[in-house]
Structures are given as C-alpha cells and as structure tokens.
Chains A and B, each alone.
Chain A
Amino acid sequence: MTTTVLAAGQLGNPAINIGIFVAFVIVTLAIVIKVSSRNTNATEYFTGGHAFTGRQNGVAIAGDYLSAASFLGIAGAIAVYGYDGFLYSIGFLVAWLVALLLVAELLRNTGKFTMADVLSFRLKQKPVRLAAAISTMTVSLFYLLAQMAGAGGLVALLLDINSRFAQSIVIAIVGVLMIVYVLIGGMAGTTWVQIIKAVLLIAGAGFMTVLVLAKFGLNISEILGRAQEMVTQSTNKGVASRDVLAPGAQYGTSTASKINLLSLGIALVLGTAGLPHVLMRFYTVPTAKEARRSVVWAIGLIGAFYLFTLILGYGAAALVGPDTILAAPGGQNSAAPLLAFELGGTILLGVISAVAFATILAVVAGLTITASASFAHDVYASVLKSHKVTEDEQMRVSRITAVVLGVLAIGLGILANGQNVAFLVALAFAVAASANLPTILYSLYWKRFNTRGALWSMYGGLISCIVLIVFSPAVSGTKTSMIPGADFQWFPLSNPGIVSIPLAFLLGIVGTLTSRDTGDPAINAEMEVRSLTGVGAEKATHH
C-alpha cells in the first residue's frame, strides 16, 4: 500500500505544484495591492489602522502561529517519533492561556505599535526601547530561519531538487517574494495574506484528517495500531525499536534528554506571550475586548488544527511509513506532503504544498514587518532621532530594514536548510520567553519594577539563551547539528529554556531591587490605569 513513487525520486507533478503556488501568489498579491492603497500613514502601515475585527485578527493570529513548524514540523515529528511530537502541539496551545490571561488586553490598552511601547512606558525610553528592539529582531530572525529551512525542505521534495545550491536559489525566491509583500502591503496587506492562508491551511488539514479517518472507518485506535506496526517494520533498527504511542522515542534515552524535554516544555509554554509578531497583532484591533476576542478565535482554530496534526502525523506513519518519510528529500518535514499524495494524488499534493508554501511566505512576511517596524519605530525614531522624524521617514526606514532582514533571513535559511522546523521554532520560543516575557509581565504587574531590572532581564535572558544555543548540540557536535563538522559543544541540552528563562526572571528581580530608582508615581499610575481600563486607547464612544 505504500508508495513506489519515491523510488523514482519524484513526487507528483512539479508543473502542477508550481502552478497552484503561482496562482496563490498572484491572488494574494492582488489583494495586498488593493488593501495597500490605504497605507498612507504609519498607523495604517504598522497596524492596519487598528481596524481589524477580533475575528479577522484571530484568524490572522492563527495564520501567523500555524507556521510551517506546526504543519510540516509537528506532523513530521509525530510520524517519526510519535508521541513526543504531540508534546510540541500541547505546549504551543497551552501557551495561549498566558497570552490570553496575562498579556493580550493590558498590552493592547497600553501600547501603540510595538512591544517596546509597553516596556518603555514607565521606564527610561532609550535604553529599554533599544533592548526591546534588539530582542525583537533576534527572535524574529530565529523564527525566520526556521521558516526558510522549511521552505528549502519542501522545495526539495516537490521539485525533486536535491542539490543544496538549487534549494538555496528557491529559498532566495521565497525571501524576495516576502520582501515584496511587506513593502507593498504593510500590516493590512500581510494580515489579509495571513487570513487567506489560515483558512486554506486549516481547511486543507481538516480535509486530510477526514480522509485519514475515513480510511480507517473513524477508528482512531486502529490508526495508532497501524502506525506502530509500520514503525516496528522499519528497516532502520533505531526507528523500529520505538514505541510511538508513548512518550520517550525522541526524549527518553538519557537523563539529559529527559531534562531537555522539560526545557522544551517550559520554552514552548512561556514563549508565545513573548513573541513580538504575536504581540504586534494585538495592536491591529481597536479595543482590548477585540484583542480578547482575537485570542479566543486563535485558541479555537489553533487547538483544532493541532488535533488535526495528531491524526495527520500518525496517519502519515500508518499510510506512508517512517522509512519512506525519512528517505524522502526534506526528511521528517515531508511527512504531511507525502500523506497528501498518498490520500489524494498529485492534485491534493499540489494544493497542500501550495498551502504550505503560502504558510511560509505569509509567516515570513509577518515576522519581517514586525522586526522592521521595531527597528524603524524603536531604534531609528526613538533612540537615534529622539522622535524628531516624520511618519513617512519611519515608514521609509522600516521598508529598508525589511529588505536588509529579508537578505539576512535568506542567508541564514540556506544555513539551516534540512533541520526539523518545529525544533528550530522552539529555539525562537526559548529566546522570546527568556528575553521578553519576564519584562512584559513585570512591567504590567509589578509596580516597583524599574529600568535596571528590565535591562538586566532582557539582556541577561537574551545573551544567556543565545550563548547556550551556540554551545548546544543543536549547533555542533552531532551528526544532525547545524554545523556537523565542528564540535565546540559543552551545554548538554539542545533547548536552553530551563536555564535562561528562570535566569531572566531572577535578573529582573535582582536588577530592580539593587537600584534605588522607583520611577515616577504619576507615570506608573498612568500606565496601570490605562492598562486596566483602556482609557486613552479605546476608540472614543461619545454618545
């Protein structure tokens, strides 16, 4: 029942794959151009004029969040490692409660464009903005890198491009396209691309789930049984010995890998509420109530989607088999496309792959606009020019930054090509949870919190996290590392969250308490009253 197609090394029809993808690009570009006629000032460009409804924004948040990591990475991890892949889904979902309960509404009430607006509200503007912008750009780059790696793998599979060089060219094309979206569309444009893509992705995954369930007569137990059977039959002894229905296949052999799982779990659950491109989405709605509604929509859609990936992952193991998946160009990341081909032939493969491409493109555009807005608004306008710039100039700087970031992302994406996407995104979550979340929570909930606490926490979290990643097995020392030839690894965990996140929280407390600075009571009062009541941020509703 498994495919013999891969023997030929070719899957589906590249012409159809490319055709569907090009059609998506043309349609979305047309929409972006249409909505971008409103991009006349900075508020429009950076936030879409705060004009999206909670539901639209919730769908866009789901679009931002359900990146290639979720679709390709998690489905692939479940197909190959089984239960341990499911742990990603749960962390990614539960994390939304932190955003919903603690962050979304208060942030919407206090800020305007970027995360730094909130962090610098009652602290010293320049140093805090600079730190926030640096961490925003770092997190965005990590996230970008993951998406680009996903693009490389997908292309390898679909077009049967196996040379690193040709894959690199495709990564560059994806990068250039994303720059175009951001330059033309601004936030309104990218939001619409997200909405379209989210609907396509969730519908596509839902459709595939129904097909898998139908094949097994709606008997989930049978899907699981068959998946385990296929894994046990694997010709690879390491794979065949796995129990994919229970945890432990990926993170279970040693104490270090068990602690690594904990570390990953912490990073996932605390990362979401610190992701700058998610935080920026709370500004595209007019009120805190709409921000709340956005998160509820996002949780519903994201939760449903992860339930789909559970079936898709085990379905891919059961119907395609781990050997075929691991042998395919693109490795684990190709489980979902291979399953699409098994279920619906060339057409479904083409549609699903186009959706996956679109996902990468849209997420990359969303990240780029966040990072470039942060540079233009926080670094250029506030730190370098002390707010003496026009909005036009801010937009111009932001567009230049988008191009620079695009080029950087292309370069890094080429380096990370071939890594598991969900794993790479988990690193971005670790950086976000270490560098951003402590300061966000302290500045919203702790009156005494001050500038030194913020700087220590942000830089301490950011630097410790990056240093530990660089010296982890993720970068060097094992066959699957980013730089497989080198070995300068000494930190045993591939995800640093368990060390860097508590450290950042602690540094925030120590920094605050060792400084006599208690802030300006009037500004503290303004921030607290505004964050809780929405005064000054709500659209005026005079009667």
Chain B
Amino acid sequence: MTDNPAPTQPPIPPKSEYLAVQASPEFAELRRALRRFVFPTTIFFLIWYATYVLLGAFAHDFMATKVWGNINVGLLLGLAQFVTTFLITGLYIRFANRELDPRAAAIRAGMHWAQ
C-alpha cells in the first residue's frame, strides 16, 4: 500500500445526519446486501463444521473408513474443511469488493459533511 494521504483528522458528521442516513433506502440496501450474504454463509459453515465435529466425536468407524492407502474419510473431511474455508473467504472478498464497497462509498460521499 502506497496511499498515504495527508494526516487530516477524519471529519465527524453531525449526529442528526446519522438518523437520516439510517432511514435512507441506500443504507437499507447496503445492510440487506451484507446480511443476505453473511448470515446464510455463517449458518452454512457452522452447520458443516458441527457435522464434522459430531462425526469426529460419535462416528469413529465411519471416519476410519479407508479410501486410498491409509487415507481415510476423516482425513478427507478434515481437509474439505480447509477447502471450504478458503473458498468462502474467496467468495466473500469478491462479494465485498463488488457489492459492499461501492455502496458504502456512495453513502459516505452523499453525506453533507463530506462536501
């Protein structure tokens, strides 16, 4: 990162403006976009992780099933947790760059104190 702007203090908008922004359709849209992505994704990976831990705790024989050489189901499911974690991270970055950042920037630019 090379951007190193002049050390200006971040300007603080007047309190009243926050209520107006919070009530605006643009802000509602940003909030909806964020929640529509993060809540279902969080529920998905928590359930997937819980399934894995439950299998690890109660289904030893299933996890010990050999798939290839000494590599068994448990090991593959564990590695699959790594894969989904990396995948979700990548998807979130793409989503945030496309859907969140432009919306947040537009709202910031529209607030009076910034002009």
Contacts and interface: CB of A to CB of B under 8 A. Distances in A.
19 contacts: A83-B78, A84-B56, A90-B49, A90-B82, A91-B49, A102-B38, A225-B70, A245-B64, A245-B75, A246-B60, A247-B63, A265-B49, A265-B53, A269-B46, A303-B86, A522-B18, A532-B30, A532-B34, A537-B10
- The 5 lowest CB-CB distance pairs between A and B, nearest first, are A221-B69, A246-B64, A265-B53, A224-B70, A53-B1
A124 B62 CA distance: 51
Contacts of B86: 299-300, 303
B10 A261 contact: no
Interface stretch (A136-144, A148-156, A288-296, A349-357): A288-296
A532 B31 contact: yes
B53 A87 contact: yes
Given A93-B82, A245-B72, A532-B30, A262 B53 contact: yes
Given A246-B63, A262-B54, A299-B89, A540 B11 contact: yes
Contacts of A53: 1
Interface in B9-32: 9-13, 15-16, 18-19, 21-22, 27, 30-31
A64 B10 CA distance: 29
Contacts of A101: 37-38, 41-42, 88, 92
A484 interface: no
A349 to B, nearest CB: 28
Interface string B75-95: 100100110011011001100
Contact of B19 (A94, A269, A522, A535): A522
A417 to B, nearest CB: 30
Given A53-B1, A102-B42, A535-B13, A94 B30 contact: no
Contacts of A307: 82
Contacts of B75: 83, 86, 224, 245
Contacts of A247: 55-57, 60, 63, 74
Nearest to B59: A247
A66 B54 CA distance: 26
Contacts of B12: 536
Interface stretch (A198-206, A387-395, A408-416, A523-531): A523-531
Contacts of A243: 60, 64
A525 B63 contact: no
Contact of A100 (B72, B92, B108): B92
A86 B82 CA distance: 12
Contacts, number: 175
Given A94-B49, A224-B70, A54 B10 contact: no
Given A87-B53, A269-B49, 15 more contacts: A83-B75, A87-B56, A94-B85, A97-B89, A224-B71, A245-B74, A292-B96, A295-B89, A299-B85, A300-B89, A307-B82, A529-B107, A532-B27, A535-B21, A538-B108
A303 B85 contact: yes
A225 B75 CA distance: 13
A533 interface: yes
Contacts of B9: 540
Size category of the A interface is 35 or more
Contacts of A491: none
Given A258-B57, A532-B34, A533-B108, A539 B10 contact: yes
Contacts of A225: 69-70
Chain B at the A interface: SS class: helix
A228 interface: yes
A270 to B, nearest CB: 9
A313 interface: no
A220 B1 contact: no
B89 A296 contact: yes
Contacts of A83: 56, 63, 74-75, 78
Nearest to B79: A307
Contacts of A526: 15, 18
Contacts of A525: 18-19, 21-22
Given A228-B70, A539-B5, A97 B53 contact: no
A540 B108 CA distance: 11
B46 A540 contact: no
Contacts of A537: 10
Q: Could you say which of B11, B31, B57, B104 has the most chain A C-beta atoms within 10 Å of its C-beta?
A: B57
Nearest to A538: B10
Given A90-B52, A247-B60, A539-B10, A220 B71 contact: yes
Contacts of B1: 53-55, 290
Nearest to B90: A296
Contacts of B41: 97, 101
Contacts of A96: 85, 89
A537 B10 CA distance: 6
Interface string A45-71: 000000001110000000000000000
A221 to B, nearest CB: 3
B41 to A, nearest CB: 6
A347 interface: no
A245 B78 CA distance: 12
Interface in A246-296: 246-248, 251-252, 258-259, 261-262, 265, 269, 289-290, 292, 295-296
A345 interface: no
Contacts of A292: 93, 96
Contacts of B31: 528, 532
